Every structure is written in structure tokens, then in C-alpha cells.
Chains A and B, each alone.
Chain A
Amino acid sequence: MKVLSKDKLSTALNKLSDSAEVFVPMQKGKQSGYFTWKSFEEGQDELMLEALNVYQSPKNAVFPQTERIYGIASQGVEVNIDKTYEDTSANIIFGARGCDVKGIMAMDLAFLTKGYEDSLYKARRSANTIIANACYEPGPNCFCNAMEVNCVEPAGADVILHDVGDGYGWEVKSDKGEAVTALLADILEEKEVKLPAIKPFIQNVDYSGVAEKLKDMFDHPLWDKLAEPCVNCGMCTYVCPSCYCFDIQVKMWGEQGYRFRTWDSCMFEEYSREAGGGNPRGASKERFRQRFLHKLQFFKERYGTPLCTGCGRCMIVCPTDINIVRIIDAVKEAEINA
């Protein structure tokens, strides 16, 4: 197997950064997330490839929180689009865990399939290569196995890294993977390696039948109880590797401006507010329910897989300790009175 020796890691990242933006998991000051290798400051920042994961998912690399769509120039009553902003520059996500790779796979389904293509997303994603980092030691909050993720061989990765102690086994999975491998031809070594054994999951989550059961639970009283502590901030949706909702808005200064899109959250009242002032999800509980139904039922119905990836981020950061695993359990246990 090809191996990337750990002492050649920064050489490899430098090499890859010559032709692409390379997003790596990093502790950057007080921030924990994926940042570009070019922004890495020796002595201050810390590469987090060995850690279980980082708090901000890599979705920013293919679906930035804010991105411009087109520029506007108006003259009198005439309005012209003077610029479009599709970004086709090469980018590499280096070291994503299986859960986060699934997040991008889910966004691919939403943005690229069923007869609809999001051109901004498509442009970025076409130029994007995913180098995943196989996970042999699931953490206490991990449940990706229940969310159809193979954490050692994540589907959708172009290359998979396998931590073998002093190096990373380098498993090529696609043509894009071949292309980045070629860039590192004189850095990768051919070696005999023994892949580690995967440790058991600490948490047991049973998702089977949940999507089907939820069909009959839209008006179930359990939502009142589950939603009670929720304060409707958008933290869970913004740290989530698969939440992809956005809003489109415009900024104008006199006759110049641009249209942009920016992440939005179903947790916000204004997200579902209609132009006439009505709001089908005006109540906190309704927004809370929407998030979990979308994760566990609607997406599964439309695309055949849940929108949750089992990364466990939302349950770590939630200010009021809302926990999707406890919600899955509660749905499993709930009685439905016909």
C-alpha cells in the first residue's frame, strides 16, 4: 500500500496547496474547524488530524456560509447582471472523517440530483477532491454506523487515509484520487502496512423503522416535550455537516450591488415567514419538529438515506442539551394512538 509518512505531512500539504486550496482540520486560536493549509501558522495553529474531529464541519469548503451569486449594475430602470461568481478553482478537503464525507454526499443528493442542479455548488464540487481520514476509534457521541456511514471506507471519498502509526496508508478510490496521488508521486512510499482493527461503537443507536414510524407522528404529543428546552438558536444547523438550507438576498449601494446566498436555519422564525406575513412554522415546536423530521424522515423518503451523519456535533454544542440520539430513542419508544 502507498503510505504518506507523517513526517512528510507538511511537505505533502505544501505540495497540494501549490495547485489547490487545501482545507485541513485545525485548531486555530480558539477556533476548531477546517481552515486552509495556507493559513496555517506554525507554532500557533495545531493540525487536528489525530483528533476525533473538529467543531466546524468541512461543508464550508464546498458550500460556503456566504457566497455571491452575481453582480448587479443598474442604470435608471435598466438592471444588468454584470458578473457571475461560479467558483471552479481546485479545492481539496484533507482528512475528513466518514461522517463529514457523508454530509457532502447528502448535499450532492440535494444539490445535484432529482432533475435539479445548483450551478454554484456544482462548480465548486466538480473542482473538489475529498481525502478522507478513516476512523478506527469511534468517540462517545459517534453513531455514524446507524446513519449508513462506513467510517473506515466512507463512500464518496476520492482517497482514504488510514492511520498506521507513523504514517497514513493512502488508498485511492477514484480518478480525482489518482490525480492528487500523482501530485505526491515522489512523497508517497510503497510499504507493507497492517491496518488497525476498528474499535466498537460506544453508543448504540437503532434507526431502523424510525423514518417509517415518523410518518404517523407529525402531531404526536412527544414533540411538545422534546422541544420544550429548545431556544431556537441555529447552532445545531450551522455546525451540522449536512444541513444545507440557505437564503438568497441582495445588497445594493446606489446603482451597484450583488445577489448572494447565505446559510439559513429552519430554527429561525424568519426562515419560514412568508411574504404576506404568515408563518406555517411560527411556533418554536414546529420549527424544532421540522429539523428532526427533515433529518430522520423527509430526506430518507426522498433520497433513501437519513440526513443525519451521526457525527455528534449538535449534541455537544447545544446550549439546552437537545440530543438527537435521545430523540431517536424517544421516537422508537413512543406509542402511537390511532
Chain B
Amino acid sequence: MKEITKKIQEIAARLFAEDKIDIFLAWAQQGEHEFHTNSYVARSAEDVKNIVFNEYSIYNVSNSLLKFRDSQERIGIAVKGCDSRGIVRLLEDLQIKRDRLYIVGIPCPGLKDPLAAARNYGGFSRKEEEGLAWKCLDCIQPNPVIYDELVGTEQTPRQQGDRFAKVKELEQMSADERYKFWEDTISSCIRCYACRQVCVACDCRTCIFDEMKPQWVGRENSTSDNMMYHLVKHAHMAGRCIECGECERVCPVNIPLMLLNKKLIQDVGLLYGGPEAGMQYVEGSKPPLSVYRENDPDDFL
């Protein structure tokens, strides 16, 4: 990983020197421990030395691009497989132009969750295992799908067995059992909206949950309002979730959010087929459920 860090730094330094970029998005270690690694914006050649790619560089930096969608900076960005799918989503949604980006792809060996490490270090509760983050164990796309330059060697997907096994387990339950399952998990939601904020696919300028006139979803911390929030948010992710798993990773109350996303990924696949969200970039292409045609063969519209 030190090799990769060095190469990213070299590329970033070169891009600054050649005046090809104004900023470079990657990761940096902010505190004394390695798990204090998070998103970072290098603004000049001097900042480049702070960039790292270590075993905690798990944050999906494509999300950071949203902060720059309205400005003009030319952006260098280092991405893992999952992050690169986020970039494809932003390109498809016309949130950022391809020619503003110089993408450095990193085939990802699988990383650890800095939040799990922080929890273990903090000593509040029982120690958690600190192996590869579960989202990395479920990874189907460790290699970047879009890049200008690739750093490191290709990796094989780590996902094993039936990708939708847990979804099928839930599908086997009776409607009442399933309702109970979601009631139990979603009632613990504290509505901090971290799952939305770290989601690269959540790129709406005004989110439905922030609308006040009218207010579409109630703000009570109650099972019904919480369910409304999660159902609407995740239904909106159908065909858009790039499976980076950040929502579930950051959730402070451990709601299994990727189960909802996986169910939608499975169903969108069955209904529409085609490549999954963010897997390939074709200029002008749109994900399922985002095209409106008056001559739609279905008559429900």
C-alpha cells in the first residue's frame, strides 16, 4: 500500500505541476492513529504529501465530488472500484462533467473499517473483530470501472456464494415476520441522515426529506415515520445504488441498510436486466426508472 500511496502522490504532484488540476481528492490520515484516515482535498503540490492509501482508506471519495459540482475546479481523484462506480453515477446524472476529472484508479485489495477501529479504541463496548470490513467481503467490483490511469494490479472480487442469500432469507419469511424484522431494526433509527449524507447516489439538490412545503415525510422519531424515511430513501436508490455499503457502515445504530439495497438491486436486475448501477459509463445512458416516455408501453402512467 505504501507503493500505491507513493504512486498516487507522484501522479497528483505531476498533475499539479503540469497545471492539469486545481484540487486532488483522496484520503489522508488526520490524527495519530492510522484509523484516523478519511477524505481529503489536496489543494496544491505542497498538500500532496498528506495523501495516503492505507488499509483504512475506505471512505467513498466520489461523494466528495458533490461538494464541487457547482464550481469550476479541475479535479484529480483517486478511486477504488466502488468509488469509481459512484463517479459513473454522477456522470450519468449530469452532476459533474467527465472532462473536469482526472481519475486515478486503484484496484482495491479490501479494506478495514476505521469506524470499527475507532469504536474498539474508544473502549465503550465489547471489542469487534477487525478484519476486512464486511462491505469489502461482499465486494463484486474491486477494480475501477472508469479511470485515466491505473495504479496497482487487478484484484479478484471477494464476494463468495449467493450474493442475495440474505435477501432470499427475508423473502422466505411471512409478511408479518418480515414486518416485525423491519419494525425492530428501523425503530432504532435516530434519523441522523448519515446514510443519506454519505451516499453518492443521493445527489438530489433538495432532498424530499428536507422539504417543508409540503412536508412529505414526518419528523417524529416513530416507527412509522422512520419506516417512511427508509422506504422512500431506498426505493429512490433502486437502479442507483452502487453497493459501496457506506450507508450501513456509518450507521450509528447498526441498521442493515444494505439488505434493502440488495433487495432492490436483485429486483431491478430481474425486471430490467442490463449492467448494474455504475458498472459502465456510456455517455448519455440512464439507469432504469429514470426515463420518462409518453409512448411507454405500460399504461400505468
Chain A residues at the B interface, C-beta cutoff of 8 Å: 27, 29-32, 48, 51-56, 65-66, 139-141, 228-229, 231-235, 237-239, 247, 249, 251, 260, 262-263, 265, 268-270, 273, 284, 312-313, 315-317, 319-321, 323, 326
Contact = CB atoms under 8 A, between A and B. Distances in A.
A231 B254 CA distance: 19
A235 B212 contact: no
B30 A30 contact: no
Nearest to B38: A321
A135 to B, nearest CB: 12
A15 to B, nearest CB: 27
B126 to A, nearest CB: 7
B233 to A, nearest CB: 13
B125 A54 contact: yes
A268 B194 CA distance: 11
A262 B221 CA distance: 7
A233 B221 contact: no
Given A27-B125, A235-B252, A323-B31, A66 B38 contact: no
Given A249-B219, A317-B115, A321-B31, 5 more contacts: A30-B254, A31-B188, A48-B125, A53-B124, A235-B192
A251 B192 contact: no
Contact of B220 (A229, A262, A284): A262
Contact of B193 (A27, A66, A234, A249): A234
Contacts of B212: 270, 273
Contacts of A238: 190-192, 252
Interface in B26-49: 30-31, 36-41
A312 B122 contact: yes
B16 interface: no
Nearest to B222: A66
A7 B72 CA distance: 66
B119 interface: yes
Interface of chain A: mostly helix, strand, loop or mixed: loop
B155 interface: no
Contacts of A65: 190-191, 221
A321 B222 contact: no
Contacts of A249: 215, 218-219
Contacts, number: 129
Contacts of B52: none
Contacts of B40: 229
A95 B41 CA distance: 42
B194 A319 contact: yes
Interface residues of B, number: 45
A320 B210 CA distance: 22
Contacts of B219: 247, 249, 262
B192 A140 contact: no
16 contacts: A48-B125, A139-B124, A140-B123, A229-B30, A231-B198, A233-B193, A234-B191, A249-B218, A251-B220, A270-B212, A316-B118, A316-B122, A316-B124, A319-B249, A320-B39, A323-B30
B192 A326 contact: no
B114 interface: yes
B63 interface: yes
Interface in B192-251: 192-194, 196-198, 210, 212, 215, 218-222, 246, 249-250
A51 B125 contact: yes
Nearest to A323: B31
Contacts of A229: 30, 38-40
B194 A140 contact: no
Nearest to B33: A140
B31 A140 contact: no
B125 A55 contact: yes
B189 to A, nearest CB: 10
Top 10 nearest A-B pairs by Cβ distance?
A233-B194, A30-B254, A319-B250, A233-B197, A231-B197, A321-B38, A65-B221, A235-B192, A316-B122, A66-B221
Given A66-B220, A320-B39, A233 B192 contact: yes
B253 interface: yes
Nearest to A53: B124
Given A31-B254, A232-B197, A321-B31, A269 B220 contact: no
Contact of B31 (A32, A270, A326): A326
A265 B192 contact: yes
A32, A56, A65, A231: residue with the most chain B Cβ atoms closer than 10 Å: A231
A321 B63 CA distance: 15
A260 B215 CA distance: 15
B179 to A, nearest CB: 17
A321 B114 contact: yes
A75 B59 CA distance: 54
A32, A52, A273, A313: residue with the most chain B Cβ atoms closer than 10 Å: A32
A66 B189 CA distance: 12
